[in-house]
Homo-oligomer: A and B are copies of this chain.
Amino acid sequence: MATELFSTYSYLLDRTARKVKQYAQRRFNAENYDITVDQWIIIKRLNQNNDLNQTQLAEITGKDTPTLTRIIDILCKKGLTERRIHATDRRCFTVHLTELGTQTVAEWTPKMAEIRMKAWENLTEEDYINLKRILDTIYNNLDD
């Protein structure tokens, strides 16, 4: 396969990932909702798994632990999450949604689903399956 034919995939990946994030961010901003997309990803995940420590939460959301520490700091300041001391391991915190955090996830989940649907216009389920397969393959090719 010719090198130049696919020499641009990394550019396409990068700009598309940024566009998706940017679009969702603008929806948040448009409703004066003071949260970032990456913060959203965390609270959305906490709504499903409300008893993870920071390392687990970082792993499952694809963040590294310093990044997660800072996002959790911000979310706690905003009153959306809280750190709780782990029962048996004093190194850990488990992270939990507050009442406000739970409300926020409930309010924004349908809006985010709508945003995702918009991105997917003119594409099929087969496209999704192919996209997932291709991206997973690239990821695994480069994984240590």
Give chain A's interface residues, CB within 8 Å of chain B: 1, 3, 5-24, 41, 62, 113, 116-125, 127-128, 130-132, 134-139, 141-143
Question: Which listed residue, B41, B122, B124, B134, touches A123 by the CB 8 Å rule?
Answer: B134
By CB atoms of chain B within 10 A, which of A9, A24, A132 has the most? Answer: A9
When all copies of this chain in the complex are counted, the total is 2
A116–B3 contact, CB under 8 A?
yes
Which of A7, A23, A125, A142 gathers most chain B CB within 10 Å?
A142
Would A9 and B134 be within 8 Å (CB), given that A14-B17, A15-B62, A139-B19 are in contact? no
| 9 pairs of A and B residues whose beta carbons are closest in the complex | A23-B142, A13-B17, A17-B17, A16-B135, A6-B128, A15-B62, A12-B135, A10-B20, A3-B113
